[in-house]
Amino acid sequence: MQETSNRQSEFDAAKQRKGRMIFLLLAVFFTVPLLVVVAMIKFDWRPGGKSYGQLIQPPVSIAHETQWATDGRQSVPQFWRDKWNIVYIARECDADCMQRLYDLRQIYVSLYKDMVRVQRVLITQQTNTQAIRARYPDLLIINGQAEQITTLGRQLTNQEQNTLDAHRVYFIDPLGNVMMQYGPELEAKWIRKDLIKLLKSSWAG
Report pLDDT digits (tens) over 29-72: 556 555 554 454 444 444 455 778 888 777 777 777 666 766 66
Beta strand 177-182 with 169-172 is: antiparallel
- Which of 131, 159, 160, 155 has its CA nearest to residue 144? 155
Structural domain count, the chain: 2
| C-alpha 22, offset from chain centre | 36
Pair (71, 160) in one structural domain: yes
Pair (83, 173) in one structural domain: yes
- Cβ count near 21 (within 10 Å): 10
What tens-digit pLDDT sequence spans the chain (205 residues)? 545 555 556 656 666 777 677 767 666 655 655 555 445 444 444 445 577 888 877 777 777 766 676 666 566 667 777 889 999 988 888 999 999 999 999 999 999 888 899 999 998 888 888 899 899 999 988 876 667 677 776 666 655 556 777 788 999 888 888 888 898 899 999 999 999 888 887 766 5
- As a whole number of Å, the end-to-end CA separation of the chain is 62
Pair (192, 129) in one structural domain: yes
pTM: 0.69
CA distance 89 to 93: 9
Pair (113, 178) in one structural domain: yes
CATH number of domain containing 172? 3.40.30.10
Q: Whole domain around residue 15: which residue ranges?
A: 1-46
